[in-house]
Amino acid sequence: MPQWPPAGADAGRRRRGADRLPDLWRGFEAPGAEALAFNSAGACPACEGTGTVREVDDAALIRDEALSIDDGAVLPWQTFGFNVQPQIAREFGVRTDVPWRDLRDWEREIVLNGPEEKKHIAVTSKKGVHELDFTFRNARLTVTEELKRAEDEKRLARVSRFLIERVCPACRGTRLSPAAAAPRIGELGLAEATAKTLEDLVDWAAEVPDALPEEMRPLAAGLVDTLLGMARRLLDLGLGYLALDRAGSTLSTGERQRVQLARAVRNETTGVLYVLDEPSIGLHPSNIRGLQGVIADLLAEGNSVVMVDHDPLVLREAEHLIEIGPGSGSEGGRVVATGTVAELDRDPDSRIGRHLTGRERVLARTSAPEGETFERGAIRLRTAPVHTVHALDVEIPRGRLTVVTGVSGSGKSTLVLESLVPALRAGEGRPLPEHVLSAEAGDVEKVKVVDATPIGVNVRSTVATYSGVLDDLRRAYARLDSAREAGLRAGDFSYNTGSLRCPRCEGTGEITLDVQFLPDVEIPCTECGGRRYAPAAQEHRRPSASGEDALSLPDLLALTAAEALPHVADMRKVGSHLEALRDVGLGYLTLGEATPALSGGEAQRLKLATELGRAQTRTLFVFDEPTVGLHPDDVRVLIEVFQRLLDQSGTVLVIEHDLDMIANADHVVDMGPGGGADGGRIVATGTPEEVAREAGSVTGRYLREHLGR
């Protein structure tokens, strides 16, 4: 390491140099990988490498400006039990008995940001009056101190209502410290490089070695080769549109799983069993080829792979299949067939084998003939470029089933969910998106987006409440002679507020165990066994319409929708709701099942069931990948449900990769040809047969093969 002063200088010069420049000559070492990592030494000190900071939201601190502090205007003091703070505030001269909006600025500043000073106050309790010293804790400090103590989700949720999250002003969201952001290759620092999509980064990295001095090129070439090898599998899996600085929490389940798969290949493991749960979710058929390549690499290295999946493209490549069934819920749970694709095709008990060999196709409806697709009118949309999507001009036929497809990142969601839907909903205070140039709705008046977001926020939301049958059932049980004699009304049969609800769990069906040093544990209620009702509810039994044994309301809610149908055959409205559940393939759900626990696909179909039987004239239904996790037979059921919406004069628009769904469409809009910057254009439109004949359509190539089976 270089030394100061240099060797050979006389003592006087050494003394003079040391006096003048004591800190200028130091050793220097090139930064290592850890020094540039936002999870390590390269983290921004302001946000600790998260890229965001949480700050107190002053607007959330005051409940109502018309309230006085004594009446609870300062919400954090009320929420966290600091009831003496108003009294301490009075010691600063703050008027606590006048509305917040009437306080002077200095008074508000004391409440929001006053000093941590001790004040001598008199506190009244059951034992009398006590004079004590208390430290003032202003409203902002109350929140920040409670945030430090928030060690579980419940406490964090209570504090989060008073916080806002914004991009870190120090690193501007890059997560990096100034030192980590400083090194550059050409004009790019680490922050700029990681902001690129994987596809763009690969193109840039390939040119880096040639731009460096000769002596650095061999080292750079080796590093770039390693990077390209790691990136290849991610590109094969259709993730080239992702930016490297994208937060992992924002990835979909399918994206996250594919990233983990690519990492597993890179780690070069052997003798490991990999279990994959629906790895084909969100994958275009072209990306499934990449998935198969990753699995082949894992197998070649001596690993084993077990997959749970429904996609025929994935299943056809399996060496051994285990089919569970034959139905769903209580009608399934058994191994019905095992073997190769050919063996399952020959097995009469198998329901998937004939789909894998092409012996059976999912043709659930007759598509509109070419030339008649738009005879009922059209919805038109014109946009300017946005994100990586080019300017678009598209027509969606009215009263038809339209499928928007394309590889991952090709712009499907931007077209439908970020452009068409908000454009049609514009008006009545909702602005037209800036990038939308024009939108003609035809005669569409309502737009219903049926997505996979969870239904309800807690266990009090059940299949029975969401489907609308519980209210009718409660009224029916309240009409029983036993209920009238007991003076019970419909409200008493509510598991949320009724007198018959379980007193132990208060109708939730579960209790929370506070395990020290560990997160709280939810278990079925030990009193009611998860049935939500007290034993007294068993005394009121309604005769079954099918002649079977009379059932109590808890007994009925424990049945599946399909099992409950015969018992409520005399209740037309309830029966129609349960039939709708059965028709969308959810007959296996129990009526008392909590809706937040449903899968995304189940939640989507439950929402769809509530729309059946209604007139849907002038309504556009939008679905985002509704076939996720569905068996081909279930896809057929879903297509039949879509046909019912069309028969009710609705219009159906679906974002989808499933070839069976595409093959049943009246009209197809294919985005692409690639993802990210390589996509964002409409490459083909028309009937499935027309798109299959389009040479430039990636989807068309796979659709052509599918239609030819």
| Tens digit of each residue's pLDDT (9 = 90 or more) over 412-431 | 989 999 999 999 998 766 78
| Amino acid 127: pLDDT | 66
Q: Give the other-Cβ count within 10 Å of 591's Cβ.
A: 24
Per-residue pLDDT, averaged over 32-57, amounts to 88
Q: Is the pLDDT confidence value at 151 over 90?
A: no
Q: Are residues 142 and 162 in the same domain?
A: yes
Question: Please, which residues bridge with residue 29 across strands?
Answer: none
Half-sphere exposure of 617 (CA within 13 A, CB side): 1
**Is 176 a domain residue?**
no
Q: Mutual orientation of helices 285-300 and 253-267 as an angle, nearest 10°?
A: 30
Q: Are residues 530 and 581 in the same domain?
A: yes
Confidence of residue 3 (pLDDT cuts 50, 70, 90): very low
What single letter denotes the amino acid at residue 651?
Answer: T
Q: Is the pLDDT confidence value at 610 over 60?
A: yes
| Amino acid 253: pLDDT | 67
**What share of the chain has pLDDT > 70, as a percent?**
93
Average pLDDT, the chain: 87
Confidence of residue 128 (pLDDT cuts 50, 70, 90): low
> Is residue 71 a contact partner of residue 192, using CB atoms and an 8 Å limit?
no
| Amino acid 358: pLDDT | 83
Distance set, CA 548 to CA 469, 476, 561, 589 (Å): 20, 17, 16, 21
Q: Is 262 helix (H, G, I), strand (E, B) or coil?
A: helix
Q: Is the pLDDT confidence value at 698 over 50?
A: yes
DSSP 431-483: PPPTTEEEEE-TT--EEEEE--PPS-SSTT-BHHHHHTHHHHHHHHHHTSHHH
What single letter denotes the amino acid at residue 348?
Answer: P
CATH code for position 527:
1.20.1580.10
Q: Are residues 311 and 216 in the same domain?
A: yes
Q: Are residues 281 and 389 in the same domain?
A: no
Q: Is the pLDDT confidence value at 576 over 50?
A: yes
Nearest to 247, CA basis, from 409, 33, 50, 36 = 50
Q: Is the pLDDT confidence value at 481 over 90?
A: yes
| Amino acid 11: pLDDT | 43
In this structure, what token pair is assigned to residue 452?
Answer: 């996979």
Q: Are residues 243 and 303 in the same domain?
A: yes
Q: Are residues 576 and 632 in the same domain?
A: no
Confidence of residue 20 (pLDDT cuts 50, 70, 90): low
Confidence of residue 667 (pLDDT cuts 50, 70, 90): very high
DSSP 18-42: HHH-SSS--------TGGG-TTTTT
Q: What is the pLDDT of residues 485-544, one digit of tens each?
A: 999 999 999 999 999 999 999 999 998 887 665 667 888 999 999 999 999 999 999 998
CA angle 33–39–44, rounded 5-degree value: 100
Q: Are residues 296 and 189 in the same domain?
A: yes
Q: What is the pLDDT of residues 333-380, one digit of tens each?
A: 899 999 999 999 999 999 999 999 888 878 878 888 888 999 999 999
Per-residue pLDDT, averaged over 327-333, amounts to 81
Least confident interval from 1-5, 467-471, 569-573: 1-5
Q: Are residues 543 and 502 in the same domain?
A: yes
Measure the CA–CA gap between 78 and 75, rounded to whole angstroms. Answer: 5
Burial of 417 (0-12, 13-18, 19+ CB in 10 A): middle
Q: Give the other-Cβ count within 10 Å of 487's Cβ.
A: 8
| Amino acid 267: pLDDT | 79
Q: Are residues 160 and 204 in the same domain?
A: no
**Is 364 a domain residue?**
no
| Amino acid 5: pLDDT | 39
Q: Are residues 482 and 585 in the same domain?
A: yes
Domain boundary among 318, 344, 359: 318
Q: Are residues 447 and 490 in the same domain?
A: no
This prediction has a pTM of: 0.73
CATH code for position 701:
3.40.50.300
CATH code for position 103:
1.10.8.280
Measure the CA–CA gap between 467 and 579, rounded to whole angstroms. Answer: 11
Q: Is 72 helix (H, G, I), strand (E, B) or coil?
A: coil
Q: Are residues 513 and 589 in the same domain?
A: yes
Nearest to 637, CA basis, from 678, 609, 668 = 609
Q: Is the pLDDT confidence value at 7 over 60?
A: no
Domain boundary among 299, 318, 337: 318
Q: What is the pLDDT of residues 581-598, one digit of tens each?
A: 998 889 999 999 999 888
**Is 389 a domain residue?**
yes
| Amino acid 87: pLDDT | 87
Domain boundary among 107, 140, 167: 167
568-577 own/partner pairs: CB under 8 Å, 24+ apart: 568/473, 569/545, 570/545, 571/472, 571/473, 571/476, 571/545, 573/469, 573/472, 574/469, 574/472, 574/473, 576/613, 577/467, 577/468, 577/469, 577/609
What single letter denotes the amino acid at residue 385?
Answer: P
Q: Is 427 helix (H, G, I), strand (E, B) or coil?
A: strand
**Is 12 a domain residue?**
no
**Is 340 a domain residue?**
no
Number of helices (H), then strands (E), belonging to the chain: the values are 29, 23
SS3 assignment for 608-673: HHCCCCCCCCCEEEEEECCCCCCCHHHHHHHHHHHHHHHHCCCEEEEECCCHHHHHCCCEEEEEEC
**Is 83 a domain residue?**
yes
Burial of 23 (0-12, 13-18, 19+ CB in 10 A): exposed
Distance set, CA 560 to CA 334, 566, 585, 592 (Å): 18, 11, 12, 9
Least confident interval from 164-173, 285-294, 358-367, 565-574: 358-367
**Is 351 a domain residue?**
no
Q: Whole domain around residue 189: which residue ranges? A: 185-318
Contacts of 230 (CB under 8 A, 6+ apart): 262, 266
Nearest to 37, CA basis, from 227, 169, 180 = 180
Least confident interval from 130-139, 334-343, 697-706: 130-139
**What share of the chain has pLDDT > 90, as a percent?**
46
**Is 525 a domain residue?**
yes
Count of domains in the chain?
A: 4
Q: What is the pLDDT of residues 393-407, one digit of tens each?
A: 999 999 999 999 998
For the chain, what is the radius of gyration of the CA atoms?
A: 32
| Amino acid 518: pLDDT | 62
| Amino acid 16: pLDDT | 47
| Amino acid 9: pLDDT | 42
